[in-house]
Amino acid sequence: MADRSHIVKSYEQELGQLRSMMSQMGGIVENQVALALSAIADRNEEAADAAARQDPDVDELEREVESLAIRLLALRSPMASDLREIVAALKITGDLERIGDYASSIARRSLRIRGADGQISLSGLRSMGRLVQDNLRRSIDAITQQDSNRAMEVWHADRAVDEYYTALFRELVTYMMEDPRNIRACTELLFIAKNLERIGDHATNIAERVFYAVTGDNLPAVRPRGAPATADTSEQPDR
């Protein structure tokens, strides 16, 4: 601690610190999503608790990233790709924080779908979850490696998530029509599916921001969308 270099940190180091914090935040959020999904699939109540418990850490990291980014902007006047990276980091933390929120919301809801065991197939939700997890992983890889190609991949892959959501929506509505006793659990599952879909959207947002940070170009405003809503899916709750 007697070393002077601890007092005057170099720009490069601060940038490294920022990247490290982003990747740490990404790791926690990924873990939250994994725990939330295991809470549903394996009926793992501990995982549900653990997912919710990590929320404060994510919030704390978000604040730290923000203040470091603002500090870098104010004191170092970054240019070109550095500037874009830092501004993107500011926004990406917002996305990551939302993903964390959705994950803990999924975890909390997972505790309320008991009682429907065995009657409702969770395999669709499980596959959708895996897909979303994979997209999230790739978008966080894109952040840490500043890789625009990966970002593009994620951007295109979100379509499949949307399609899964539409299919799940139909399936759950069918369960509810079959037996009104399923309605309670199915409503929770619908929200869970919606939350997963939102996580997918945020992963896509992250990919867009990384693409901008790396290339300086924006991806088209209209993203490839899932299947257009047909008559029986048009009344899906949109939040």
Contacts of 223 (CB under 8 A, 6+ apart): 155, 158, 204
Binding residue (CB under 8 A) for another protein from 64, 134, 163, 171: 134
| Rounded (10°) angle between helices 183-215 and 148-178 | 170
* Residue 133 contacts another protein per CB under 8 A: yes
Is 123 a binding residue for another protein by CB under 8 A? The answer is no
Q: Is 149 one of the binding residues for another protein (CB under 8 A)? A: no
* Nearest distance in Å: CB 164, another protein: 15
Closer CB to another protein, 118 or 237, in the complex? 118
The least distance separating another protein from the CB of residue 106, rounded to whole angstroms, comes to: 14
Does 19 bind another protein (CB under 8 A)? Our answer is yes
10 binds another protein (CB under 8 A): yes
Tell me how far, at minimum, the Cβ of 157 lies from another protein, in Å: 12
Q: Where are the beta strands (DSSP E) in 37-80?
A: none
The string of DSSP codes covering 74-124 is HHH---HHHHHHHHHHHHHHHHHHHHHHHHHHHHHHHTT-TT-TTTS--HH
* CB nearer another protein, residue 31 or residue 215: 31
Nearer to another protein, 117 or 235 (CB): 117
Q: Does 114 bind another protein (CB under 8 A)?
A: no
Sign of CA dihedral 222, 227, 231, 235: negative
Measured between alpha carbons, how far apart are the two ends of the chain, in Å? 51
Quickly count: other Cβ atoms within 10 Å of residue 202's Cβ. Answer: 24
Q: Which residues bind another protein (CB under 8 A)?
A: 3-6, 8-13, 16-17, 19-20, 23-24, 26-28, 30-31, 34, 37-38, 54, 76-80, 82, 118, 130, 133-134, 137, 140-141, 144-145
